[in-house]
Structure 1
Amino acid sequence: MHSGSMTRVWCALRGDGGVGRRPWALKHRSSKWFILTTIVCAIFTDIFLYAVIVPVIPFALTSRADIEEHDIQKWVTVLVAVYGGALSAFSPIAGWLSDHSSSRRLPLVCGLLALLGGTLLLNLGSSIGVFIAARILQGLSAAVVWVAGLALLADTVSENEVGEMFGYVLIAMSVALLLGPLLGGIVFERAGYNEVYAMVYALIGLDVAMRLLVIEKKVAKRWECVEEGSEGDVETARDTADVETKPEGDLTARNTSHAASTPTPPATPVKHAPAVLTLLKSRRLLCALWGTMVTSVVMTQFDSTLPLHVQQTFGWNATGAGLIFIPFVLPSIIAPIVGWATDRYGPRWLATAGFALLTPLQVLLRFVTHNTLSQKALLCALLALMGLALNLALPPITVEITSSVTRKERATPGLFGTKGAYAQAYGLFNTAWAAGALVGPIWAGFVRDARGWGTMTWSLAVLPAVSVVPVAVWTGGYAFKVRRE
C-alpha cells in the first residue's frame, strides 16, 4: 500500500483529522448525542457480552472443557474472579494510555479488538486455559471501554451536563445486565450454543460501526480548519480544540505561551507527582471510589445468590430466576433524572439518601424466606426500592470522579499537564467497581452457603451503613469548609 494511503488509514483510525478531505456528516458524527449514543452502545455491548454467557458457561465447561460436574461451581467462580482481576489490573493502565493517546477513539477500537478476540476464544475454545484467556481479554476490553468511553463523554459535554449524560450510560448497563442472561438462556435452549454467539457477533458489528464513525469534538475542529484555513491555522485549531476539552487550568498556560510576541527565556518546567498519586490524595475522590465499590458490592451480590434463593424458596425455574431481576433493574430509568438533579443541585444529598435507604432495605431482605404470595410481593418491592436507592447514589458518585479532576485543575493550573487526567480518574473508578464486583458475589455466596440468607443480607447492610457519614461529609466537597479538595 502506498505510504500516503497508509497514513490516511492510520489517521482515520486515530480520528485525528490530520490528512484527507472533510469527512461526510462531520457535524452529526461529532455531535454530543452521537458521541453519547456510541458510548452507550459500547457499554451495552460490553455488559451484554459479560452477562449473556452466564447460562452458557456451565454447559461449555462440561461439554467442551471436560470439567466434572462437581467442579463446575469452582471453575465458574474462577472465571468470574479472572474477569474481575483483569478489569481491575488493566483499568489504571487503560486510563494512562487513554490520557496520553492522540484521541480517545484509538483505545476504544483497540478495546473492541480485545472484545472480539475474547468472544472468539469463548465460542471456539475447548479447554479451561482458553476460557481463562478469553475472560482476561474480556476484562481488558471492559477496562478500555469504561475508561476511554467515560473520559470521552467528560471531554464532550459541559460540566453541568455530566450527571444527566452518565445517567443514560447507567441505563445501558442495567438493561444489558437484565437482557444478557435472559436472551442467552432463551437462545441457548431453543437454538444452540453457536447461535448465542451469533447474536453477540451481530451486536459487536453494530458496535464496530459506531466506534469507527464517531469523531471527537476537538478532532472535528481540526477538520474544519483544514478545509477553511491554512496549515498554520490547523496548529491553532489543535490548540483551540485541546483548550475547549480541558479544564481552565490548562488554558492559562496555553494562552500565555501563544500571547508572547517576543522570545523569552525558557521557563523551568514545574514537575508534578504522577496524576494517579495526585488523585489519590483527594479525600473527595477517595470517598467517591469507596462509594463506587460499595454500590458495586450491593448490586452484584445477587449474581451468586438471588437465582438460587428463589429457586429453593419459591420453586422457580431459570426463567423465573431471570425475571426476578426486572424490578431491580427497572428503576434505572430514573438515572438521567437523578443526573440532571445532580448537575443542578449538587451530588451530596442525593448520594447520601441513596446510601441511607440501602441500609434498611438490605436488612429487610432477610424476611423473604417462605413460599407465599406476600413474600414474593415483598421481595419484588424490596428489589425495586433497592434499585431506586442505587440509582440515587450512583449518578452523583460517578459525577464526583469528573468534578474532582476539574476542581483540582482549577485550583492548580497545569497540575495534570496538557493531557489532563479524566481517563486516569475513571481508571480508578473502574478499579473500584471491579473490586466491588469481585467481592460482592464471593461475600454473598460464601456467607449464604455457610450461615444462610438472613446472615448474608444483614452482613452486607454494614457497608452502606458505614458509608452514609463519609458520603455526606465529602461528596460535593468538604461539608464544613468553603473549599477543600
Structure 2
Amino acid sequence: MKHRKWPMVAGILGLLVSTFLFLFAQAYWELLLARFLQGFSDSCVWTLGMCLIADSFPLNELGSKMGIVLFFHSCGLVLGAPIGGTLFHNIGYKAPFILCICLAGLDFILRLFLVERRNQPPEWYNDSNETSAVEPSTIVNPAPDSTKEKVKERITILKLLRQNRLIASLVIAFSNGCVFNVFEPTLPVRLSSEWGYNSSQIGAVLLAQAIPTFVASPLAGYITDRYGAKVVAFSTVLICAVSTMLIGIPNQNTTGGIAPLIVLLVIQGFSAFACITPVLPEIAIVVQSLNGDDGDDGQGMSYALFNIAFGLGALVGPLFG
C-alpha cells in the first residue's frame, strides 16, 4: 500500500478492542480473541513502525535511530510490569487496562495526524536556503526516450529470501526471540525452587536482564552507523551465546550467592539487545540494494519477515526451555 498510516491505525484499533475485551471478558474464548487482536496489533505497529523509520532517515543514520526506538521499547518493557502490578494491587483488576486504553487512545490520535515523508513533496524537507540549479530549458518537458524506459521488476518474498544478508538478519532475529523468551518459563521457577525467592524478589532479579537494554540499543546503533552491522552483530552474538550458556552454572553453593547470576543476566541482556539493533538498518540496506531507483519496494515484506522470525523464536524458545 502507498500509505503506511492506515494499517497502523487498524493495528491500534485492534489493540483498543483487545484491551476492552480484557477489561470486560467473562468467557475464555473472549480472552483468546483478545490475545489474537493483541498479536495482530503488535505485528502492524512493529512492521510498519520500522518502515516509517527507514523511510524518514538516510541509511547512514538508521542504526542510531533504530537504537533510539528500541531504547523506548525497553522503557515500556521495564516500566509496564511494575506500574501494572502496582495499579492491580492498589486499585483492582481493571486499573492497568484502563491505563492501557488511555495510552492506546493517545497513540491512535497521533497516528491520525502522522505525516509520511515518502508521500510528501521532497521540497518540504529541503533546507529553505537551498536553491535549485535547474536550467531554463529543462522546464519544457522533453520527448520521452523510449530506449531508456525499463519495466521495474517487482520484489517478491522469494527474491528477498535469496539475499544472504537478509537470511543472516533473520537467523539473528530468530535466535534473539529464542534467547529473550527462553527464561520466562524457566528462570522464575528456578529462583523460586532453588533460592526460595518470592515474586517481588524474582522481579528484581529479572530487572538485571532488562535495565542494560537502555544502554545497549543506542550504543549498538551508534557503533553500527560508524563501523557497520557486521562488527556489532558478530561480537554481541558471540557474547550473548557464551553468557546464555554460563547462566546455567550459578547455584546456591556458588561463591557470591545470587551475584554471579545477576552479573551474567546483565551481560546477556546487554548483548541480546545490542545484537538485534544492527539487524534493523541491515534490512533497509538489503531492500535499497534491490531497488536501483532509491525505491522501497519490498521494505514492508522484509520487516514482516523479521517479525515472523522473531515471533517463531519467541514461540520455540519457551517450549524448548
- Identify whether the pair has TM-score above 0.5, normalized to the shorter chain: yes
Aligned residue for 2:301? 424
Equivalent position of 2:209 in the other structure: 328
CA distance in 2, matches of 1:169, 1:434: 19
Name the structure where helix makes up a greater proportion of residues: 1
The 10-residue stretch of structure 1 (365-374 or 380-389) with the greater mean CA deviation from structure 2:
365-374
1:105 aligns with 2:17: no
Name the CA shift for 1:392/1:222 in 2 (closer, same or farther; >3 Å): closer
Structure 1 counterpart of 2:59, from 159, 168, 176:
159
Q: What are structure 1's unaligned runs of at least 5 residues?
A: 1-99, 226-257, 445-485
Match in the other structure for 1:150? 50
Cα deviations by residue, 1:52-85 (Å, 9 ceiling, x for unpaired): xxxxxxxxxxxxxxxxxxxxxxxxxxxxxxxxxx
State the distance in 2 between where 1:439 and 1:128 align.
Answer: 24
In the other structure, the counterpart of 2:136 is none
Letter in 2 for 1:370: Q
Distance 1:423 1:139, change over 3 A: same
**Following the alignment from structure 2 to structure 1, what is the Cα–Cα distance between the partners of residues 253 and 108?**
46
Name structure 2 gaps, 5 residues minimum.
126-138
Tell me if the contact between 1:327 and 1:383 (Cα under 8 Å) persists in the aligned partners: yes
Kindly indicate whether residue 188 of structure 2 is the aligned counterpart of residue 307 of structure 1: yes
Describe the shift of the 1:223–1:180 C-alpha distance in structure 2 as closer, same or farther (beyond 3 A): same
- In 2, Cα distance between equivalents of 1:346 and 1:119: 40
Amino acid at match of 1:114: G
Count of residue correspondences: 307
Cα contact 2:78–2:211 (8 A) shared by 1: no
Is contact 2:13-2:108 (8 Å) kept?
no
Residues 51-200 of structure 1: pairs in structure 2 closer than 5 A: 100=1, 102-200=2-100
The match for 1:356 among 230, 235, 238 is: 238
8 Å CA contact retained: 1:314, 1:371: no
Residue 370 in structure 1 maps to residue 258 in structure 2: no
Residue 184 of structure 1: how far off its partner (Å): 2.2
The alignment's C-alpha RMSD in Å is 2.5
**Counterpart contact for 2:54–2:281, Cα < 8 Å:** no
Q: 1 or 2 for the larger relative contact order (CA 8 Å, sep ≥6)?
A: 2
- How far apart, CA to CA, are the structure 2 residues paired with 1:316 and 1:341? 38
TM-score, scaled to structure 1: 0.59
- Please give the alpha-carbon distance, in whole angstroms, between the structure 1 residues aligned to 2:42 and 2:273: 21
Decide whether aligned partners of structure 1 residues 259 and 277 sit closer, same or farther in structure 2, where only a CA change above 3 A counts.
farther
Offset of residue 291 of structure 1: 0.6
Contact 2:251 2:257 in 1 (8 A): yes
Give the match's secondary structure for 2:211: helix
Looking at structure 2, the residues matched to 188 and 356 of structure 1 have their Cα atoms a distance apart, in angstroms, of 40
Match of 1:293 among 174, 193, 198: 174
| 1:224-283 alpha-carbon deviations (Å, 9 max, x no partner) | 69xxxxxxxxxxxxxxxxxxxxxxxxxxxxxxxx99622566998636365211111101
Distance 2:30 2:165 in 1: 41
